């Protein structure tokens, strides 16, 4: 069977397998980094624009070993869970590899979490140590932690015994200001002397590529967050595949403005760059369009990752025209549907002619589909590409039967990339992964060449008077309006039809109004899909990774219109 045949549906059914011409890499993260240092030790590994730090691969590896040995010295061992609650900082990158070096399981804490969410996350996976930034923007991380563990005020570092956080023993803060009951990051690094480092290689050699290495919490918009658990094998191989899709090389510099706590940053950013010895460029602690544009120019970045709203913010920035982005070539746009007009602007105005679209989910490490750098433009703007190597997907109907190509259904994913499970949630794991197939909850179609289109979420679907309506379809149409910058469509309760269509719009032109939107829709989409309620907003409520929070919009509209809650 040829490579082309493996990504093309067989017998007209929506079932494809990725190519297997290159074997999967049976490596742990420590082994992965060791190989990168062997090949690229003197090359520039990381640039942190805000702090001015610049490390070669060899310098980066030495920092990792110091921190790993320091973590051992404060009583952390293989299998222990260690949380990190911080924006994008140099210590985040060190922690990602230092924890893996000794088999700790890194638990990514969303920088936007508040008290109850932090309480839930730390206790759910029984975190033993927590690395945190004291604060970021309006968030007082240490103050929030003190609210949960006031015992920090009077305990010695490493000896916390908190009633509400019974497993948490050590807190490690980023920065130089002393904080009660906590180690500083630098102090832990200083403990990692040569004697302590002598234990590292033996520990790393005892690790299996299939050991869990990372826990990431799902958004939890429809219930308590679930801890998707990923192995070395999951993330290393997914990073390599995505790097190959972008054709990364040691001459590339990849700008990473996306948050590291998410797979987009730590896998598609950090690990993908390291896979081929590229340079990781971090423009700022949190996304800022001007700082990102500045980094793209000053570091001659050839690639940039971002969710659609990030690319839109850069392109629409009043100073965009003064930046020289001649080096730009590729990157990944993902995280939410990528509007066609925006994609064309990125390719034309940012010079990213080889930009790729990727689709996936945290539970699949994360990417299962990606466009190729040489895909024709209509494929890049209209699909999420074709299946990644060593993966298998099906599109199924409500009965679990594979549908013909071109017919929508739920996307199921299988292969090395599927998570090991939800941490300490066997029942939820069993519901999500059936016979090895990850049930994504996304509605998709596959065409005759194996290209995938994501058409919506099963739970997003609304039913108006018996008609099934998929918001993504309406959103895609409304984005063709020249004065519509962003749009989200969702359902609100209605006594006659059960549900009605509502939309929030970010407009480019202040003169745009509700009636002009409805007039634009007439004769172009079915009457029952035309939004009954149109609200213009300055910005959409989104998660830290840029995903729209429709439940917030829906709640606001229900209250504003005086409707009965669904």
Q: Answer positive or negative: Cα dihedral of 489, 491, 494, 500.
A: positive
Please provide the average confidence, as pLDDT, over all residues in the chain.
Answer: 93
| 3-class DSSP state of 73 | helix
Distance, CA of 55 to CA of 69 (rounded, Å): 20
Residues forming CATH 3.30.300.30 domain(s) in the chain: 461-561
Residue 264 has pLDDT above 90, yes or no: yes
161 has pLDDT over 50:
yes
Close Cβ partners of 170 (under 8 Å, ≥ 6 residues apart): 74, 75, 76, 128, 129, 130, 157, 158, 160, 182, 183
Total count of residues recorded for the chain:
566
Element (H, E) at 556: helix 550-561
157 by Cβ neighbours in 10 Å (0-12 / 13-18 / 19+) ranks as buried
Q: Which residue has the tokens 């423009």?
A: 283
Mean local confidence (pLDDT), 343-357: 95
The pLDDT value given to residue 221: 40
**Segment 178-223, tens digit of pLDDT:** 899 999 999 999 999 888 899 999 999 999 999 999 999 986 444 5
> Tens of pLDDT along 269-304?
999 999 999 999 999 999 999 999 999 999 999 999
Q: Decide if pLDDT at 121 tops 90.
A: yes
Helix axes 308-315, 289-298, angle to 10 degrees: 80
Q: How far apart are the first and last CA of the chain?
A: 51
**What percent of the chain stands above pLDDT 90?**
81
Q: Give how far Cα 218 sits from Cα of 9, 250, 261, Å.
A: 31, 33, 11
pLDDT at 496: 82
**CA 466 and chain centroid, separation:** 35
In DSSP terms, which residues pair with 139 in a beta bridge? 136
Inform me whether the pLDDT recorded for 444 exceeds 80: yes
- Residue 1's pLDDT is what? 36
pTM of the model: 0.88
Residues 6+ apart with CB under 8 A from 430: none
User: Going by C-beta distance under 8 Å and a sequence separation of 6 or more, which residues neighbour residue 485?
Assistant: 312, 316, 505, 506, 507, 508
The pLDDT value recorded for residue 223 is 57
List, as one string, the DSSP characters of 421-480: EETT-HHHHHHHEETTEEEEEEEEEE-TTS-EEEEEEGGG-EEETTEEE-HHHHHHHHTT
Give residue 2's pLDDT band: very low, low, confident or very high (50, 70, 90): very low
pLDDT tens digits for range 31-54: 999 999 999 999 999 999 999 999
Give the single-character DSSP code of 44. Answer: E
Give the model confidence (pLDDT) of 79-113 as tens digits: 999 999 999 999 999 999 999 999 999 999 988 88
With 80 as the cut, is the pLDDT of residue 386 above it? yes
Confidence band, pLDDT 50/70/90 cuts, at residue 23: very high
Place of tokens 């999951």: 234
Structural contact between residues 194 and 200, judged by C-beta atoms closer than 8 angstroms: no
Q: Where in the chain is the domain with CATH 3.40.50.980?
A: 59-211
The residues, ordered by sequence, that sit 6+ positions from 415 with a Cβ below 8 Å of its Cβ are 18, 390, 391, 392
234-32-106-239 Cα dihedral, nearest 10 degrees: -40
- Show the 3-state SS of 89-155: CHHHHHHHHHHHHCCCEEEECCCCCCHHHHHHHHHHCCCCEEEECCCECCECHHHHHHHHCHHHHCC
CATH architecture of 59-211: 3-Layer(aba) Sandwich (3.40)
Query: How far apart are the C-alpha atoms of 476 and 95, rounded to whole Å?
Result: 40
pLDDT of 260 > 60? The answer is yes
**Mind listing the pLDDT tens digit for each residue in 503-547?**
999 999 999 999 999 999 998 988 889 999 999 999 999 876 677
The answer to whether residue 69 scores a pLDDT higher than 50 is yes
* CATH number of the structural domain 461-561: 3.30.300.30
């Amino acid at each position: 069977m040829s490579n082309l045949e493996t990504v093309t549906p067989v017998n007209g059914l929506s079932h494809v397998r990725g190519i297997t011409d290159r074997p999967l890499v049976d490596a742990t993260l420590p082994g992965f980094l060791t190989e990168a240092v062997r090949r690229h030790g003197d090359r520039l590994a990381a640039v942190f624009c805000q702090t001015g730090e610049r490390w070669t691969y060899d310098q980066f590896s030495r920092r990792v070993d110091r921190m790993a040995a320091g973590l051992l010295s404060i009583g952390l061992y293989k299998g222990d869970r260690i949380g990190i609650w911080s924006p994008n900082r140099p210590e985040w990158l060190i922690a990602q590899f230092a924890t893996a070096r000794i088999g700790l399981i890194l638990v990514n804490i969303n920088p936007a979490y508040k008290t109850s969410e932090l309480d839930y996350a730390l206790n759910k996976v029984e975190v033993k140590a927590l690395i945190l930034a004291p604060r970021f923007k309006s968030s007082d991380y240490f103050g929030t932690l003190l609210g949960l563990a006031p015992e920090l005020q009077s305990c010695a570092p490493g000896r916390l015994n908190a009633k509400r956080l019974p497993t948490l023993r050590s807190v490690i803060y980023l920065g130089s200001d002393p904080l009660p009951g906590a180690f500083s990051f630098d102090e832990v690094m200083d403990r990692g002397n040569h004697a302590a480092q002598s234990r590292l290689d033996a520990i790393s050699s005892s690790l299996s590529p299939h050991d869990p290495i990372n826990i990431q919490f799902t958004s939890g918009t429809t219930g308590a967050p679930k801890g998707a658990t990923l192995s070395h094998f999951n993330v290393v191989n997914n990073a390599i595949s995505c790097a190959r899709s972008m054709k990364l090389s040691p001459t590339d510099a990849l700008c990473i403005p996306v948050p590291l706590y998410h797979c987009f940053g730590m896998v598609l950013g950090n690990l993908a760059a390291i896979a081929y010895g590229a340079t990781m460029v971090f423009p700022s602690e949190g996304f800022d369009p001007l700082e990102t544009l500045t980094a793209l120019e000053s570091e001659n970045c050839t690639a940039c990752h971002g969710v659609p709203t990030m690319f839109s913010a850069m392109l629409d920035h009043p100073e965009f025209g003064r930046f020289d982005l001649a080096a730009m070539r590729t990157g990944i746009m993902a995280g939410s549907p990528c509007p066609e007009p925006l994609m064309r602007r990125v390719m034309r105005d940012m010079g990213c002619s080889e930009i790729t679209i990727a689709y996936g989910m945290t539970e699949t490490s994360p990417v299962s589909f990606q466009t190729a750098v040489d895909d024709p433009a209509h494929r890049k703007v209209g699909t999420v590409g074709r299946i990644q190597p060593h993966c298998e997907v099906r599109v199924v109907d409500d009965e679990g039967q594979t549908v013909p190509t071109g017919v929508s259904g739920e996307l199921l994913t299988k292969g090395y990339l599927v998570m090991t499970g939800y941490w300490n949630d066997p029942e939820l794991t069993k519901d999500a992964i059936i016979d090895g197939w990850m049930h994504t909850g996304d509605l998709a179609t596959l065409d005759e060449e194996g290209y995938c289109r994501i058409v919506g979420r099963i739970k997003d679907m609304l039913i108006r008077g018996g008609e099934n309506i998929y918001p993504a379809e309406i959103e895609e149409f409304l984005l063709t309006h020249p004065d519509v910058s962003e749009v989200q469509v969702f359902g609100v309760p209605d006594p006659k039809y059960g549900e009605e269509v509502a939309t929030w719009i970010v407009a480019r032109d202040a003169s745009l109004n509700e009636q002009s939107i409805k007039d634009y829709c007439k004769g172009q989409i079915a009457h029952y899909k035309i939004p009954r309620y149109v609200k213009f907003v300055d910005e959409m409520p989104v998660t830290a990774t840029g995903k729209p929070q429709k439940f917030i919009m829906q709640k606001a509209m229900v209250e504003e219109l005086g409707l009965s809650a669904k």
